[in-house]
Amino acid sequence: MTSGTGRRGPYRISVPSRSDPALRTLVEGVGGPLGRRADPGRISPGWFTVERTLILMTVCSAVLAVVVKNPCRIHGWSSPDYFYRACYSDWTELYQSRGLGEGVLPFITPGALFEYPVLLGLLASGTAVLVELLAGGADAAAASRLYFDVNAVLLSGVWILTVLATLRLAGRRPWDAAVLATAPVVILAGTINWDLWAVLLATLGMLAFARDRPVLAGILWGLGAAVKLYPVLLLGAVLVLAIRSGRYRPFVGALAGALAAWLAVNLPFLLRDPAGWGYFLTFSETRDAGFSSAWYVYNALARQAGVATLPPGAINAGAAVLFVLACAGIAVLALRAQRRPRLAQVALLVVGAFVLCNKVYSPQYALWLVPLVALAVPRWRVVLVWQSVQILHWAAVWLYLGGMTSGGPAANNLGLGTYSWAVLAHMLSTAYVMAVVVREILVPPVDVVRRIGIDDPQGGPFDGTPDRFTLRRRAFSPRMQAGAGFAGGASGSAARIGLQDRRAPDARPDGRR
């Protein structure tokens, strides 16, 4: 595989420890930036190729993810202890409370109710069956621990595959996948629920689309939506780029694939048990605002102040209206920008808007954004700021829930006021990442991905194509823009940004020529 995936041909590998100012400073204590004698394309890395190094980094992170949950593995999962120990996991909670350990299998056992989509329920059921085969007659505590361990092992494999897919999507910037391989939010929140399975399917779908296979991309996104809803939102990003490029066939193919895959998974269970299948929709519609959403904070503060709160119906309508308005704004931005945005940029804005507007937010929802951040805005300063705030929120939510469930002394708990500030901070950090992406869409020369004439490594059928419809008076093709200095040409800022990247020859992501 060559180091670049754009239609202009191969490009040399970007080395973040040299090109990224924040990372260059951080690595000074561990040997400094990559030197000339380890230059990709000139010196063979031997066994430590980019792929193998990232796999090792992911394995180390996966071990840390289990270590974080080890207090519960040793002492058991029980409320409120798993909040104070910050080792809560839906896996064991659902295993104990939904009868998975007693042979009740979501979407398989007649009459079983499960508040998640079908494919996630089948994952929960499949791992429960595997635990039953492995555990035999083990007691409930041992079975719960084994259920967590089995899911953690499977998640490690999913994590590695997602990192490798992100590496392939990154084109000439394979090291950007290290954002996902070492992400603290994945280490801390990856073992809460099965969200990383949806992240894998969403990322594989983007890889298929980047390789001009929109139908396969749609199939993967449809399967992802059968785990968690968010992968289907990527179709919105494809639609906006289809409108601007005038190429609608990729969107139609992806939409058809997504519908076919989603129906293939859901229709049999809908026909077999309509009530059980529809419980997820009913539960989502009628539930109150979830913890850490802006809607929850408003209701909690309103309740404390003695004023009227918002009922679930009003929250549903408000969240839908805000998200639609946000999507309309993103579409206008993409159609008015001087240069067509990259697919990862639009996808990040759409998913980020959904996260901010939705009436439910859990710490693991940050996982949805990690690969998109790595592809859309691979700047380590931005990544570290965002993830640092997410870590603070992750700690705050457990202390707040511990106080709600324990009734213990206030000194040991986090009050609503401090918790509300933590929620606001996590929302502002996500908005900050989105603002950086908006700036890079409006000012293409500052986009580090688009140096040396690259258009859209993840764009697939849209990569390098001219515009057919915009909301500007004059549209520019990517090739015209490259000649005008938008991708590392004439402008001083673009020339400075791309100087380091033009010095070395082309290289493969594994470091060989």
Q: Residues with Cβ < 8 Å from 334, sequence gap 6 or more?
A: 240, 241, 244, 340, 341, 346, 441
Instruction: Quote the tokens at residue 359.
Output: 């009436």
pLDDT of residue 501: 39
Residue 7, in any domain of the structure: no
Domain total for the chain?
1
What angle is formed at CA 61 by the lines to CA 23 and CA 132, rounded to 5 degrees? Answer: 160
Q: For residue 29, how many other CB atoms are within 10 A of its CB?
A: 7
Q: pLDDT tier at 32 (50, 70, 90 boundaries)?
A: low
Query: What is the arithmetic mean of pLDDT over 408-432?
Result: 88
Which residue is listed with tokens 């309309």?
A: 328
Query: What is the arithmetic mean of pLDDT over 388-399?
Result: 94
What are the phi and psi torsion angles at 384 (to 5°)?
A: -70, -40
Residue 432 has pLDDT above 50, yes or no: yes
Residue 302, in any domain of the structure: yes
Residue 508 has pLDDT above 80, yes or no: no
Instruction: Quote the tokens at residue 301.
Output: 């503060």
Q: What is the tens place of the pLDDT at every residue in 100-157?
A: 888 899 999 888 889 999 999 999 999 999 998 887 777 888 899 999 999 999 999 9
What are the C-alpha distances in Å from 500 to residues 8, 13, 60, 161, 452? 19, 11, 31, 30, 11
Rg (CA), the chain: 23
Residue 512, in any domain of the structure: no
Q: For residue 496, how many other CB atoms are within 10 A of its CB?
A: 11
Residue 472 has pLDDT above 80, yes or no: no
Cβ contact 190:155 at 8 Å: yes
Residue 444, in any domain of the structure: yes
Residue 510, in any domain of the structure: no
pLDDT of residue 28: 54
Instruction: Quote the tokens at residue 339.
Output: 């240069």
What are the C-alpha distances in Å from 283 to residues 103, 116, 279, 292, 374? 23, 9, 6, 18, 33
Cβ contact 488:495 at 8 Å: yes
Range of the domain at 390: 51-462
The model scores a pTM over 0.75: yes
What are the C-alpha distances in Å from 427 to residues 48, 391, 437? 38, 13, 16
Name the residue among 85, 18, 58, 273 with its Cα closest to residue 155.
Answer: 58
Residue 489, in any domain of the structure: no
What are the C-alpha distances in Å from 156 to residues 159, 220, 221? 5, 20, 21
Q: What share of the chain is helix, strand, coil (3-state, %, to 5)?
A: 70, 0, 30
Residue 24, in any domain of the structure: no
Selected residue with higher pLDDT from 255 and 281: 255
Name the residue among 200, 247, 173, 254 with its Cα closest to residue 461.
Answer: 247
Q: What is the tens place of the pLDDT at every residue in 410-419?
A: 666 888 999 9
Residue 35, in any domain of the structure: no
Alpha helical stretches, state H, 337-454: 343-357, 370-376, 380-406, 416-442
Q: What is the tens place of the pLDDT at every residue in 259-299?
A: 999 999 999 999 998 988 999 889 888 989 989 999 999 99
474 DSSP 8-state letter: S
Report whether the peptide linkage leading into residue 16 is cis, meaning its omega lies within 30 degrees of zero: no
- List, as one string, the DSSP characters of 69-107: THHHHHH---TTHHHHTT---HHHHHHHHSSGGGT--TT
Q: What is the tens place of the pLDDT at every residue in 332-388?
A: 999 999 999 999 999 999 999 999 999 999 999 999 999 999 999 999 899 999 999
Element counts in the chain: helices (H) and strands (E): 23, 0
Q: What is the tens place of the pLDDT at every residue in 48-91?
A: 788 998 999 999 999 999 999 999 999 988 888 899 899 999 99
Name the residue among 203, 140, 162, 196 with its Cα closest to residue 54.
Answer: 162
